[in-house]
């Protein structure tokens, strides 16, 4: 072999090996932009405030741990409009990364322009939700069940599971994704459910101003050195220190495991001070009675005493997920604070946590300064890293 031939062969091999280095799968580089080595979804570097106690609430089923390839498939499915009957709506149409995986409408718009029954929910750290159940009315028993429901919903995406499997099977660009995630190319609704659930669970939030603060004090009741005076005041209102007549006002429901009986009693050792989603649906006195279109958890269970109870949602990224509540009735965080301060109504099934010692709706009667501070505190829960993270963004080229 002449020296020239060896030289050209060498160049040839270099070109070949460079080419296969370009992306996840060159045949589909005009469809999606995925890295050859998948992003790290399965093993993020949690801060130590995500203690064993938080992990103890992990609702990940044994047969569906997050894998990097599984979550990658889930990411593509999550952003794919082929998941709806007329190719107009993806999960991400109603769960936008920039809005903390919620949308900015009081009711979301489905594949034929129809409105959803309830307000889209933002999410982060769902694997650690102690409530375990999903939807405003807790009607989905597991996340794996939940993710298949919008696909079959007559307003949202309008497919049957059979249609779904046929559609996804006909799209060649899924073949390598299913193979990597599950060992073969065969598409099933079970695999779609698992991959979507892996992707949704991989949406972890632990990079907020609040997280930096809690890492320094390990105690929500102590001033955070990285907070402004206003944010620390807001934190005191949130945890009940500024409203001793309503001890532990917001933490009681939104951070239930960190609730002390009195703020001077230390919080339980290793308590969850980071997840910010409640364990139980509750009734916060938004309406005066049960004559409303949506009675939530009570209507789902068909138990009157739970009428008007709704999921206590995560407050992470709450600044980004407006409008608020199960029906999107409040446009701003200020309106929410006003509700808890002066607006709670005497619903017959009002939560015990929302009543004073005479059984009347409890109004926090916050000062203007305290109300503004509470809003500033909630804004410390915004995770800019998460909402800008490529690994949770739209992988499609256009």
Tokens of 22: 């370009």
Identified binder of ligand HEC from the candidate list 73, 91, 203, 233, rule CB under 6 A: 91
Identified binder of ligand HEC from the candidate list 50, 53, 324, 349, rule CB under 6 A: 324
How far, in Å, CA of 231 to CA of 236, rounded? 9
Which residues, 34 to 63, sit near ligand HEC by CB under 6 A? none
- Nearer of residues 253 and 386 to ligand HEC, judged by Cβ: 253
CA trace torsion 338, 341, 346, 352 (10° rounding): 130
- Nearer of residues 25 and 169 to ligand HEC, judged by Cβ: 169
Contact letters for ligand HEC, residues 95-134 (x by CB under 6 A): x------------x-x-----xxx-xx-x----------x
> Which of 181-206 are b and which e, b meaning 16 or more Cβ less than 10 Å from the residue's Cβ?
bbeeeebebebbbbbbbbbbbbbbbb
Identified binder of ligand HEC from the candidate list 60, 64, 67, 93, rule CB under 6 A: 93
Given a contact cutoff of 8 angstroms between Cβ atoms, the answer to whether 258 and 54 are in contact is: no
How far, in Å, CA of 272 to CA of 56, rounded? 10
Given a contact cutoff of 8 angstroms between Cβ atoms, the answer to whether 280 and 371 are in contact is: no
How far, in Å, CA of 150 to CA of 339, rounded? 31
Q: How many residues bind ligand HEC (CB under 6 A)?
A: 54
Given a contact cutoff of 8 angstroms between Cβ atoms, the answer to whether 273 and 214 are in contact is: yes
Identified binder of ligand HEC from the candidate list 73, 220, 250, 387, rule CB under 6 A: 250
Burial class of residue 265, CB neighbours in 10 A (0-12, 13-18, 19+): exposed
Residue 40, C-beta contacts closer than 8 angstroms, at least 6 positions apart? 68, 391
Identified binder of ligand HEC from the candidate list 209, 353, 391, 392, rule CB under 6 A: 353
Identified binder of ligand HEC from the candidate list 135, 174, 206, 307, rule CB under 6 A: 135
- Cα distances (angstroms) measured from residue 104 to each of 197, 337, 353: 23, 19, 29
Identified binder of ligand HEC from the candidate list 174, 227, 310, 349, rule CB under 6 A: 310
Query: Interface with ligand HEC by CB under 6 A: which range of 26-34, 260-268, 348-356, 385-393?
Result: 348-356
Which position has the token pair 């499997």? Answer: 165
User: Does 326 interact with ligand HEC (rule: CB under 6 A)?
Assistant: yes
Which residues, 368 to 397, sit near ligand HEC by CB under 6 A? 374
Given a contact cutoff of 8 angstroms between Cβ atoms, the answer to whether 100 and 385 are in contact is: no
- Nearer of residues 103 and 211 to ligand HEC, judged by Cβ: 103
User: Does 274 interact with ligand HEC (rule: CB under 6 A)?
Assistant: no
- Nearer of residues 175 and 379 to ligand HEC, judged by Cβ: 379
- Binding positions for ligand HEC, rule: CB under 6 A: 78, 83, 89, 91, 93-95, 108, 110, 116-118, 120-121, 123, 134-137, 146-147, 150-151, 156-157, 196, 200, 238, 249-250, 252-254, 278, 282, 284, 286, 310-313, 315, 318, 321, 324-326, 336, 340, 351, 353-354, 364, 374
């Amino acid at each position: 072999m002449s020296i020239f031939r060896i030289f050209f062969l060498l160049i040839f091999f270099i070109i070949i090996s460079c080419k296969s280095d370009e992306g996840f799968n060159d045949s589909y580089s005009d469809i999606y932009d995925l890295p050859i080595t998948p992003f790290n979804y399965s093993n993020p570097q949690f801060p130590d405030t995500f203690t064993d106690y938080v992990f103890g609430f992990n609702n990940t089923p044994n047969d569906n741990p997050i894998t990097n390839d599984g979550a990658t498939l889930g990411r593509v499915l999550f952003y794919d409009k082929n998941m709806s009957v007329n190719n107009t709506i993806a999960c991400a149409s109603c769960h936008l990364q920039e809005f903390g995986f919620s949308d900015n409408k009081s009711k979301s718009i489905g594949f034929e322009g129809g409105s959803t029954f309830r307000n889209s929910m933002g999410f982060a750290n769902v694997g650690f939700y102690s409530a375990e159940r999903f939807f405003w009315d807790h009607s989905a028993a597991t996340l794996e069940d939940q993710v298949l429901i919008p696909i079959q919903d007559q307003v949202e995406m309008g497919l049957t599971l059979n249609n779904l499997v046929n559609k996804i099977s006909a799209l060649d660009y899924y073949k390598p994704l299913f193979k990597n995630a599950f060992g073969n190319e065969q598409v099933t609704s079970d695999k779609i459910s698992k991959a979507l659930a892996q992707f949704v669970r991989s949406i972890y939030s632990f990079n907020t101003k609040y997280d930096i603060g809690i890492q320094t004090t390990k105690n929500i009741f102590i001033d955070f050195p990285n907070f402004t005076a206003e944010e620390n005041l807001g934190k005191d209102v949130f945890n009940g220190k500024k409203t001793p007549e309503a001890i532990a006002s917001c933490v009681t429901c939104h951070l239930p495991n960190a609730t002390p009986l009195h703020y001077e009693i230390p919080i339980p050792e290793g308590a969850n001070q980071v997840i910010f989603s409640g364990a139980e649906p509750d009734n916060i006195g938004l309406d005066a009675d049960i004559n409303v279109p949506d009675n939530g958890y009570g209507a789902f269970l068909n138990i009157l005493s739970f009428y008007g109870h709704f999921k206590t949602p995560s407050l992470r990224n709450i600044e980004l997920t407006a409008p608020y509540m199960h029906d999107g009735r409040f446009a701003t965080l200020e309106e929410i604070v006003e509700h808890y301060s002066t607006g709670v109504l005497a619903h017959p099934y009002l939560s015990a946590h929302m009543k004073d010692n005479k059984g009347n709706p409890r109004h926090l009667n916050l000062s203007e300064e305290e109300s503004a501070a509470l809003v500033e505190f909630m804004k410390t829960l915004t995770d800019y890293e998460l909402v800008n993270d490529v690994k949770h963004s739209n992988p499609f080229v256009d």
